[in-house]
Amino acid sequence: MILVVAFTIHELSHAVVADRLGDDTARLAGRITLNPLKHLDPLGSLLLLVAGFGWAKPTPVNPYKLGRNPAAGMMLVSAAGPFSNLMLAVAASIPFQLGLIAVSFDSGLLPTLSGFLIEFIFINLLLFFFNLIPLAPLDGEKILFYFLPAGGREAMRRIQPYSQYLLLLIIFIGPYVGLPIFNWLVGWPTQQLLRMLIL
């Protein structure tokens, strides 16, 4: 349920920013909606039900409709997704920050409100940092691309065909060879920001 909300808001944010910048591709595809069925990928959704993880359907974007600077437009559209997950996490932390709910971790069969909010914050922070990894097809690749000089952009273009393999290596192989890169980029910052938001 949490991932459905997080995925929906993430993809909707991409669509809204692209639309505001002049690209109506997502609007014409019916993606400016809170209906999760418009954003969830069939296979990604099946895995979500079976394995507890999955992915959403990428928001269609035409960079040539994003104004005079397509690279800047793509950077803003890409950043909108992770930023929305960060904002969801911050919003869910407000009851803890105001002292309205005490921090407690679930130990029973039914989740408490505190436990649900902590999990909601954790998952959205995880998605925030994960999507900032600068490897395609993640949003971080387009964000970093915008800020790099010409030489750096050319290097990223050369790496792009292998990005998915590099991502798999980082996630699954890195920890076994003494290079917990995924934990450095995602796990550790997620835990630190979670503590800041709820304590």
Domain spans of the chain, in order of start: 2-198
At residue 20, does pLDDT exceed 80? yes
Strand partners, 40: 56
| DSSP type of residue 59 | P
Against a cut of 0.75, is the pTM above it?
yes
Q: First vs last Cα of the chain: how many Å apart?
A: 25
Note the pLDDT of residue 40.
Answer: 86
pLDDT at 51: 59
170 Cβ neighbours under 8 A, 6+ residues apart: 133, 135, 181, 182, 185
Model confidence at 172, pLDDT cuts 50, 70, 90, reads confident
Q: Inter-axis angle of helices 139-147 and 70-97, to 10 degrees?
A: 120
- Report pLDDT digits (tens) over 24-70: 999 999 999 999 989 988 887 777 666 566 788 999 999 999 988 99
pLDDT score for 52: 60
pLDDT, residue 104, reads 84
Question: In this model, does residue 106 exceed pLDDT 80?
Answer: no
Which class for 196: exposed (0-12), middle (13-18), buried (19 or more C-beta within 10 A)? Answer: exposed
Say what the pLDDT of residue 48 is: 67
39 phi and psi, to 5 degrees?
A: -110, -20
Q: What is the mean pLDDT of residues 153-167?
A: 94
Q: Does the pLDDT at position 77 exceed 70?
A: yes
User: For residues 140 and 131, is the Cβ–Cβ distance under 8 A?
Assistant: yes
Distance CA 167, CA 69 (A): 28
Q: Which DSSP letter does residue 32 get?
A: S
**Catalytic residue set:** 11
In order of 71, 94, 97, 170, 172, the CA distances from 177 in angstroms are 36, 40, 39, 10, 10
Q: What is the pLDDT of residues 108-133, one digit of tens each?
A: 677 889 999 999 999 999 999 999 99
